[in-house]
Structure 1
Amino acid sequence: MSNSTSSSWYSTFFTELPNEFWRRAVPPEMTAAEVDFIEKSLDLAPKSRIVDAPCGSGRHSLALAARGHRVTGVDLSAEAIGYARKAGPDVDFRLADMRELPADGSYDAAICMGNSLGYFDATGTADYFAALAATVRSGGGLVIDYGGAAESILPGFTGGEDTMATGDITVEVSREYDVANSLQLSHYRFSRGTETVSSTAVYNVLTCGHLCTLLRAAGFTDISLCSSPDGEPYTLASRRLILTARRS
């Protein structure tokens, strides 16, 4: 990783232009399918208490609250939290690091969606799992959505460049892999008219086995790996890992 790229890149990356791109990019039917999966896989009772960390602009928090659940959303992006609060006053949105969670063991479930798990190295990930374990009650559930597992990233990795657009916002992205540090670096250039934002996202790449070991050490059991909200099994080269677990 270059000296100009901070390990805490996520603390400054999520400003209005990147956030607005992702708010537009995900269709409502995808959110509905993911929330269906969360409710079904965790067998959530009506009015369950759920913590969404990080919650971003509140995509899942708002959808779960609309179904009657009591949701706390935590995120470090002031812009995202401000947007979410305006969109959903019935959700308890909090501006904080995703590891700074209520440690009262009273929540029925926790979710980590949108490929946010890879922000931390193994130590930081262990700290995050410990925070989740302190938040979720015994028998409560966990869903993690992670696109950066080694089994997803590494088979056939070639880097490359992509261009995506939604409305008047365009993003150009190029990717490289830091072998020595097991990092995927994604270099983004967001554009809207004359406005541009360039920044790099640094994703720590962990194996599924390592993730499961860290989860068990934190007190989670009954771990299951899927590749989609349809419940398809996760296999080598699956592009997406959706992991569920229970607090022991």
Structure 2
Amino acid sequence: MQKETKTWFASWFDTPYYHILYKDRDHAEAQLFIDNLNQYLNLPEDAQVLDLACGRGRHSVYLNKLGHKVIGADLSENSINYAKQFENDTLKFVVHDMRQPFEEKFDTILNLFTSFGYFPDEKDNLTTLKAIQESLTEYGLAVLDFMNAEKVIKNLVPSEVKTVEGIDFHITRKFENGFIYKNIKFEDDGESFDFTERVRALTLEDFEKMMDEAGIFLLDIFGNYKLQKFNNEESDRLIMIFK
């Protein structure tokens, strides 16, 4: 049974299997990253923070525990419905397309863990950057955490099988036509599934070009979650601070 649509992220992220496959992501590393960002940004405790593409809200919850007023936004209705159990007076979750700006303004907008570059139309990436900028307060800062595409392509693992909760996920990867593709096939309860993640392999130069076109100021660049200097050959991440 095929579960693919033109907007792969709208279907794949809405399934429980996405969360099963990625359940073992490093929570401690993610919290360390957010702690480092919190210190770098020097946010007041009651800062208005937008966690853009928040998934099931794990990082939004942690940001809220640090004392911030947080809105977690994601395109996946199922993920937002799950996250709503964590809501309180200073933590809310909404279904939202990142290409659209918010009416309210934020002191900080975070787009973390490669939650960018999914759109088939190149213009949508620029539209998203503009929407982020428009949703910032006058002195607000945005953080975009992306993969270091150059290193990812160089170290691409062509195929592997990952078994999680008794499900064998057959994963293949390739770089083609400017995108990194990750195909995921598996069976569960006698049903076959086939999803393909596709992320544009945007480099620092690509982002600089888009930001220049959008009138965005790129203030700082880091290469890992410890906020160390970016190196296009060695760094694991491409983390950009802009306004």
Q: TM-score range by the shorter chain?
A: 0.7 to 0.9
Superposition pairs for residues 211-222 of structure 1, below 5 Å?
A: 211-222=207-218
Cα drift, residue 137 of structure 1: 1.2
1:79 Cα deviation from its structure 2 partner: 1.4
For normalisation by structure 1, the TM-score amounts to 0.85
**Amino acid aligned to 2:221:** L
TM-score (normalizing by structure 2): 0.87
Query: What is the letter of the counterpart of residue 86 of structure 1?
Result: Q
User: SS of the residue aligned with 1:230?
Assistant: coil
Could you tell me how far apart the structure 2 residues matched to 1:20 and 1:83 are?
Answer: 14
Name the amino acid aligned to 1:95.
Answer: V
Provide the C-alpha distance between the structure 2 equivalents of 1:166 and 1:226, rounded to a whole number of angstroms.
32
- 8 Å CA contact retained: 1:7, 1:202: no
Q: Name the aligned partner's letter for residue 217 of structure 1.
A: E
**Aligned counterpart for 2:180 among listed residues 169, 179, 184:** 184
**SS class of match (2:221):** strand
Shift of 1:10: 0.9
SS in structure 2 at match of 1:74: strand
The superposition leaves residues 26-60 of structure 1 with CA deviations (integer Å, 9 ceiling, x where unpaired) of: 23312211211221222211111111111111121
Name the residue aligned to 2:196: 200
The SS at the match of 1:25 is coil
Matches for 1:1-248 after TM superposition, within 5 Å: 7-14=6-13, 15-22=15-22, 24-90=23-89, 91-104=91-104, 106-120=105-119, 121-147=121-147, 149-155=148-154, 157=156, 159-178=157-176, 181-190=177-186, 197-238=193-234, 240-247=236-243
What is the identity, as a one-letter code, of the residue corresponding to 1:173?
A: I
Change (3 A) 1:193 1:67: farther
Residues 184-239 of structure 1, C-alpha deviations (whole Å, 9 max, x = no match): 11001355665653200111112211102212333432432222111222212335
CA distance in 1, matches of 2:66, 2:146: 24
Q: Is the 8 A contact 1:81 1:94 kept in 2?
A: yes
- In structure 2, relative to structure 1, the CA distance for the partners of 1:237 and 1:37 (3 Å cut) is same
In 1, distance between residues paired with 2:143 and 2:166? 33
Unmatched 5+ residue regions in structure 1?
Answer: none
Structure 2: segments with no counterpart, 5+ residues:
none
CA displacement 1:76-120 (0-9 Å, x = unmatched): 11111111111344522111212233144x200111112111212
Distance change (3 Å), C-alpha of 1:153 and 1:21 = closer
Which contiguous aligned blocks of 4+ residues in structure 1 show a shift greater than 6 angstroms?
none
Tell me how far 1:164 sits from its aligned partner: 2.9
Q: CA deviation at 1:242?
A: 3.7
Q: CA RMSD in A?
A: 2.4
Q: Shift of residue 70 of structure 1? A: 0.8
